[in-house]
């Protein structure tokens, strides 16, 4: 993606990285240790310009220009956000399969001072259109033999297979463009920017900020040597270090206090992830952590791959953050309504539609 930065963190923590970077705009100071050619200087300088950050971000919007309908007129039964909200898609991949493990929309309402988190279930069934299936069959004749191919967490792989928009969409990446267009068509949410973060840096980010205190709803105990994943977190109020934080956001199944198998499912797991994000924001995105936040911004290239491709563009988000922060923004979360279904022997979640 050219100037776009590469990532090494968990998709869930992308929200933290974005808001951490833009929180620097709350403090109208220059950092003495930086020089004028460093990214953080450009970031702060952009914050100090008079233009409204939200309007600047919205001015960069362009029509999706889809070649055809991607779905069979699949549409969620209600609107999730106002059309003027700024929407950032947070993506986190599964370490072993390559599918997206986390798809979270961070919707910034800079008019009503609200940050809304919308976690899209990874098992959501996408009703692809005949036109798209025909294109996919040309590029991948045996695609139907791949299990779970209609889950939204595999959408990016299909976009890559058909070389969606020949890599000339607004994100210049077939995977990102296809995923963003699917979300816009199904949920009516325009994606302004994408932040892609790998799981491997979650531990060091949490440890860097000294852990996260959270009320663990139940014993989380699970072992998977293949993924190098060992989870053993007691129920109750805990301060999670990096290792346990990764376990908390990834936990799906394990054993209970009596050694019996326990599974919480994807929707319950999403609730835990949202709770973790809220706890991290409340505990660490504040003035006393400004130095750490600036350090993370300077090291952004080691954490994220983002369509926010310059310090100036990040500075526009800084202006939005300043406005939200100074107005004491509130946090909301939205659950996607769906039900369990079995299609051709595969477990999916079926979206509630109009």
pLDDT at 145 over 70: yes
List, for residues 289-303, the tens digit of each pLDDT value: 766 766 665 665 666
Q: Is the pLDDT of residue 11 over 60?
A: no
Taking CA atoms, 269 is separated from 121, 217, 248, in Å, by 9, 11, 9
Going from the N-terminus, what domains does the chain have, and what CATH number goes with each? Answer: 11-201+269-351 (3.30.420.590), 208-268 (no CATH)
* Rounded Cα gap, residues 189 and 123, in angstroms: 19
Beta-carbon contacts of 224 under 8 Å, excluding residues fewer than 6 positions away, are 230
Nearest-angstrom CA–CA distance, 250 and 10: 10
Radius of gyration of the chain (CA): 20
- pLDDT of the residue at 7: 34
Residue 36 has pLDDT above 80, yes or no: no
- pLDDT, one tens digit per residue, over 176-234 is 999 999 999 999 999 999 988 766 667 777 888 899 999 999 999 998 877 777 899 99
Q: Identify the residue with better confidence: 259 or 201.
A: 259
Rounded to 10°, the helix 265-284/14-23 angle is 20
The region of weakest confidence among 14-18, 33-37, 59-63, 143-147 is: 33-37
What are 89-133's pLDDT values in tens digits? 988 877 666 788 889 899 999 999 998 989 899 999 999 999 999
- What per-residue confidence (pLDDT) applies to 314? 76
């Amino acid at each position: 993606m050219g100037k776009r930065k590469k990532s090494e963190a968990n998709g869930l923590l992308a929200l933290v990285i974005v808001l951490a970077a833009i929180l620097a705009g709350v403090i109208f100071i220059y950092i003495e240790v930086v020089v004028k050619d460093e990214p953080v200087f450009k970031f702060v300088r952009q914050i100090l310009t008079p233009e409204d950050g939200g309007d600047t971000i919205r001015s960069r919007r362009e029509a999706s220009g889809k070649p055809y309908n991607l779905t069979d007129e699949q549409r969620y039964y209600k609107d999730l956000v106002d059309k003027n909200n700024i929407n950032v898609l947070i993506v986190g991949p599964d370490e072993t399969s390559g599918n997206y493990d986390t798809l979270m929309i961070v919707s910034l309402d800079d008019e009503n001072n609200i940050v809304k988190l919308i976690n899209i279930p990874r098992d959501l069934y996408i009703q692809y259109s005949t036109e798209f299936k025909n294109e996919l069959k040309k590029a991948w004749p045996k695609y139907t033999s791949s299990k779970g191919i209609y889950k939204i967490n595999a959408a990016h792989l299909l976009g890559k297979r058909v070389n969606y928009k020949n890599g000339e969409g607004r994100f210049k990446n077939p995977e990102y463009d296809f995923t963003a267009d699917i979300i816009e068509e199904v949920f009516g949410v325009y994606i302004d920017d994408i932040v892609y973060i790998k799981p491997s840096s979650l531990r060091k980010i949490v440890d860097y900020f000294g852990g996260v205190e959270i009320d663990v709803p139940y014993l989380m105990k699970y072992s998977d040597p293949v993924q190098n994943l060992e989870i053993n977190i007691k129920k109750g109020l805990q301060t999670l270090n990096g290792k346990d934080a990764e376990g908390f956001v990834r936990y799906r199944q394990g054993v209970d206090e009596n050694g019996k198998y326990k599974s919480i499912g994807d929707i319950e797991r999403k609730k835990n992830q949202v709770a973790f994000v809220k706890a991290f924001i409340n505990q660490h995105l504040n003035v006393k952590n400004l130095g750490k936040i600036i350090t993370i911004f300077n090291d952004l290239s080691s954490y994220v791959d983002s369509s926010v491709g310059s310090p100036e563009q990040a500075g526009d988000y800084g202006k939005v953050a300043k406005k939200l922060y100074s107005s004491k923004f509130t946090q909301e979360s939205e659950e996607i309504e769906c039900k369990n279904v079995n299609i051709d022997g595969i477990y999916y979640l079926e979206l509630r539609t109009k």
